[in-house]
Amino acid sequence: MQLTELSAWQLGDLIRKKEIRALDAAEAVVAEIKTKNEKLNAFLSYDEAVIRSQAEGVQEKLDAGQVLSPLAGVPMAVKDNISTRLYPTTCASDMLQGYLPPYDATVIENLQQAGAVITGKTNMDEFAMGCSTETSFRGPALNPWNQGHTPGGSSGGSAAAVAAGLSWYALGSDTGGSIRQPSAYCNLTGLKPSYGLVSRYGLIAYASSLDQIGPMARSARDCAAVMDCITSQDSKDSTSSDHSTAFKASCYEATTGFNISLKGRKIALPEQALAQVDPAVRRAVSETAAVFKDLGADIVPFDLPYQDASVPVYYLIACAEASGNLARYDGVQYGRQPDNGHEMDLTAFYEHNRSAGFGKEVKRRLMLGTFVLSSGYYDAWYLKALKMRRMIIDSYNEMMRGIDAVLMPVTPSAAPPLYQHEDDPLARYISDTFTVDANLTGRPAIAFPCGINAGGLPVGAQLTGHLLADDILLGLVHAYQTQTSHHEKRPSSARKGEPA
The catalytic residue positions are 79, 154, 178
Residue 444 in contact with residue 469, Cβ under 8 Å? yes
Query: Measured from the CB atom, is 102 or 402 closer to another protein?
Result: 102
Query: What Å distances lie between residue 119 and 65, 131, 141, 211, 264, CA to CA?
Result: 24, 24, 17, 23, 42
Residue 394 in contact with residue 451, Cβ under 8 Å? no
Residues 6+ apart with CB under 8 A from 464: 405, 406, 408, 437, 438, 443, 444, 445
Query: What Å distances lie between residue 428 and 52, 240, 425, 455, CA to CA?
Result: 40, 31, 5, 21
Beta strand pairing status for 445-452 and 189-192? Answer: antiparallel
**Helix 279-294 vs helix 470-483: crossing angle, to nearest 10:** 90
Judge residue 286's burial from the number of C-beta atoms within 10 Å of its C-beta, 0-12 exposed, 13-18 middle, 19 or more buried. Answer: middle
Rounded Cα gap, residues 319 and 302, in angstroms: 30
Rounded Cα gap, residues 169 and 76, in angstroms: 5
Residue 462 in contact with residue 409, Cβ under 8 Å? yes
Residues facing residue 122 across a β-bridge: 43, 79
Residues 6+ apart with CB under 8 A from 203: 81, 82, 83, 105, 107, 173, 211, 213
Query: Measured from the CB atom, is 102 or 301 closer to another protein?
Result: 102
- Which positions lie near another protein, rule CB under 8 A? 81-83, 89, 91, 96, 99, 101-103, 105, 200-205, 207-209, 235-239, 320-321, 323-324, 327-328, 330, 332-334, 342, 346-347, 350, 370, 373-375, 378, 382
18 phi, psi to nearest 5 deg: 65, 25
Residues facing residue 43 across a β-bridge: 122
In 3D space, the residue among 255, 204, 209 whose CA is nearest the CA of residue 228 turns out to be 255
Rounded Cα gap, residues 17 and 359, in angstroms: 48
**% helix / strand / coil in the chain, to the nearest 5?**
45, 15, 45
DSSP string, 401-444: TT-SEEEEESSSSSPPBTTTTTT-HHHHHHTTTTTHHHHHHT--
Residue 128 in contact with residue 81, Cβ under 8 Å? yes
Rounded Cα gap, residues 8 and 225, in angstroms: 9
